[in-house]
Structure 1
Amino acid sequence: MSAPTPYTATAEEAYLDRLLAARLLLPTNLPGIYARGSAFTQLMEGLERAITRYGRTESTQILRCPPVLPRSIVEKCGYFQSFPNLLGCMCCFTGGTTEHEALLSAVDSGADLLPHLELSDVVLAPAACYYVYPYLTGTLPQAGKTTDIENWCYRHEPSLNPMRMRAFRMREFVHAGTPEQALGFRDSWIERAQAFLARLGLSATVAPADDPFFGAGERLMAAQTLKFELLIPIVSDTRPTAVMSSNYHKDHFGHLFDIRTPDGAAAHTTCIGFGMERIVLALLAQHGLQLSKWPTALREHLGLA
């Protein structure tokens, strides 16, 4: 009998080991869930400032929301139909003393706790932009409206790939307006996003995404050129990582949330999303894990001490 083939860590797992050893990320006992160390946090804060300077204007609406979202919103948007495997639902205990004793017995015995809990009216937010659309209901200004939102998000895909965290932060600029305004916003940001990343010393390529977008019964594929991703080969040239994406939803959310242009038509929406942790991971892979050795101009751009 031949000896078993020894396990060889993937490039992604090897990168995770380096990040943990440098205490840029701090481990938990769960794959894909990490605390952020001091240097990682400094980079996140610097990136936030750079995005604000680059993308926010005086007319931009600013929105910051909790990491939980009303379940009714994801149901309305069709997330259960499109990505039920990624959604993190929250369950709560609502019983009395007798039910509590049964729950404790299940905890002590290691039994399934789900029969003792009830589905909550909130879920973990799977995307930052979901919070924006209900606040846009009604008639938009003549020039449309742009919203700057940042949120903690969760997607249930446990992995030792640090580029696929289960809990992460998304920063997005969401624009609602006429079809011409939405498409103009999207197209301009595809070019601006590459320039933004280049200022960080990162070279990205643009490619149509191959995943379906949200919506009950809909699979809006890349062939329709509705979603583009900016890809960077963080640890592998053959497996580049999407660090930003640009999505054009047509009038999908305009109809769902009764968002109208001044002429009464359903608004079209689009968004540009920054994967905050992924951009930081790309920066660390490109420039090294010791921030003090980074180029002076880049450190100044990000406001690093």
Structure 2
Amino acid sequence: MTGPLMTGERLDALARAGLVWHPTGEAALRGPLLRLADDCDRAFVRLASGWEAQEERHPATLPAELLQRVDYLRSFPHQATFAVAMDGDEANLEAFLSGPVLTGSGAVAPAALAPVRDVLTPAACYHLYRAHEGESLDRPLHLTTRNTCFRREHEYVPLRRLRSFSMREVVCLGTRAETAAFLAALRERVERFCELVGLPVEWANATDPFFRPQRNPKALLQRIAPVKHEAVYGDLAIGSTNDHHDRFGEGFGIDRDGAPAHSACVAFGIERWLFALTDRHGTDPAGWPALPDAAAEAADAAGGRP
């Protein structure tokens, strides 16, 4: 029943369910909606349970130097958000304090900044490649992590397009055949899960949101040989499968059988799932499906570890 992106009536109903929306593009969750978000995350972990993926937790920032090994800043400068701080020189801080501190628009008044070296996490999986840098694998490695991710956008829409949002990712590092099998099997589980929770999705070829894609050879390559597929509810991508080939294995010195490891990931945007589920089943928690139970059934139907 995907209609208008977000009517005032719909936003009021979501507020009663626990959404606090900030026009800066950020959402706070509490009450039933927070519980639904936690159920979503548990369901995604359950879908990946057949691979016994190791859970990891990582900080909110990544070194810019590390991301640039895979050309992130040249490919997505329009979406990058940086962790900045004022230059700690006492004269600089005194000059800042002697001024208005904030401008009339609410922006921080100008001050000299310390060198910018860190990027706020753009996608959760980058931390995993950093964490396993230099490793030599004798079997496929399966990992999962959840992080708050940050993107700059032209506009922000409650639960659909946010400045900061939660992302759960499941990653496989291995040979080309191992990562391909992982993507196929987990995609099948996701399809079965969506059927069980009454959420119609379609898979569509997609490309990453490159800056000036018509000038970026990586964007052209993704159109010719798709490596990204999105699970789309209505017009909203709520998950994706991504085949990185050996890009991260080479960039981070991760080997499998003496060659750069291939990697693949499945990503879930948790707030987007909240939008889809409440759009499909309403904002009354009594009508929401039992997500962890459905995920267990979908995983069991796949017959254990693929």
* Common fold by TM > 0.5: yes
Alpha-carbon offset, residue 58 of structure 1: 6.6
Residue matched to 1:243: 238
- Which whole-Å CA distance do the structure 1 matches of 2:291 and 2:249 have between them? 40
Q: 1:109/1:170 Cα in 2 relative to 1: closer, same or farther (>3 Å)? A: closer
- Which whole-Å CA distance do the structure 1 matches of 2:217 and 2:80 have between them? 17
- Which whole-Å CA distance do the structure 1 matches of 2:89 and 2:126 have between them? 34
Q: 1:140/1:56 Cα in 2 relative to 1: closer, same or farther (>3 Å)? A: farther
**Residue identity matched to 1:224:** A
Residue matched to 2:123: 127
Alignment partner of 1:261 is 2:262:
no
C-alpha contact (below 8 Å) 2:79/2:152 kept by paired residues: yes
Alignment partner of 1:164 is 2:165:
no
User: Aligned pair count?
Assistant: 284
Q: 1:160/1:112 Cα in 2 relative to 1: closer, same or farther (>3 Å)? A: closer
C-alpha contact (below 8 Å) 2:58/2:147 kept by paired residues: yes
Alignment partner of 1:287 is 2:281:
yes
SS in 1 for 2:181: helix
Compute the RMSD of aligned alpha carbons: 2.6
Q: 1:98/1:135 Cα in 2 relative to 1: closer, same or farther (>3 Å)? A: closer
Residue matched to 2:172: 175
Residue matched to 1:226: 227
Q: How does 1:5-154 map to 2 (within 5 A)?
A: 11-14=4-7, 17-28=11-22, 30-57=23-50, 59-104=52-97, 105-108=99-102, 110=104, 113-154=109-150
**Residue identity matched to 1:277:** E
Moved more, 131-140 or 150-159: 131-140
C-alpha contact (below 8 Å) 1:174/1:269 kept by paired residues: yes
- Which whole-Å CA distance do the structure 2 matches of 1:198 and 1:31 have between them? 34
SS in 1 for 2:56: strand
SS in 2 for 1:92: coil
**Residue identity matched to 2:180:** L
Moved more, 162-171 or 61-70: 61-70
**Residue identity matched to 2:134:** G
TM-score, normalisation: structure 1: 0.84
Residue matched to 1:252: 247
Alpha-carbon offset, residue 281 of structure 1: 1.2
Alpha-carbon offset, residue 21 of structure 1: 4.0
Alpha-carbon offset, residue 75 of structure 1: 2.0
Q: 1:300/1:142 Cα in 2 relative to 1: closer, same or farther (>3 Å)? A: closer
- Which whole-Å CA distance do the structure 1 matches of 2:37 and 2:7 have between them? 22
C-alpha contact (below 8 Å) 1:213/1:221 kept by paired residues: no
Say which of 267, 273, 285 aligns to 1:273. 267
Deviations 1:102-146 (A, max 9, x none): 213152555864542224332210000100112223344433101
Alpha-carbon offset, residue 148 of structure 1: 0.7
Residue matched to 1:7: none
Q: 1:103/1:245 Cα in 2 relative to 1: closer, same or farther (>3 Å)? A: same
Moved more, 71-80 or 17-26: 17-26
Deviations 1:22-68 (A, max 9, x none): 2531133x331121121111001111222222212474221111222
Q: 1:194/1:114 Cα in 2 relative to 1: closer, same or farther (>3 Å)? A: farther
Unaligned runs of 5+ in 1: 1-9, 234-239
C-alpha contact (below 8 Å) 2:139/2:256 kept by paired residues: no
- Which whole-Å CA distance do the structure 2 matches of 1:281 and 1:19 have between them? 12
C-alpha contact (below 8 Å) 1:66/1:152 kept by paired residues: no
Larger RCO of the pair (alpha carbons < 8 Å, separation 6+): 2
C-alpha contact (below 8 Å) 2:64/2:118 kept by paired residues: yes
- Which whole-Å CA distance do the structure 1 matches of 2:293 and 2:143 have between them? 27
C-alpha contact (below 8 Å) 2:88/2:114 kept by paired residues: no
Unaligned runs of 5+ in 2: 297-306
Q: 1:185/1:253 Cα in 2 relative to 1: closer, same or farther (>3 Å)? A: same
- Which whole-Å CA distance do the structure 2 matches of 1:208 and 1:165 have between them? 22
- Which whole-Å CA distance do the structure 2 matches of 1:21 and 1:139 have between them? 46
C-alpha contact (below 8 Å) 2:81/2:151 kept by paired residues: yes
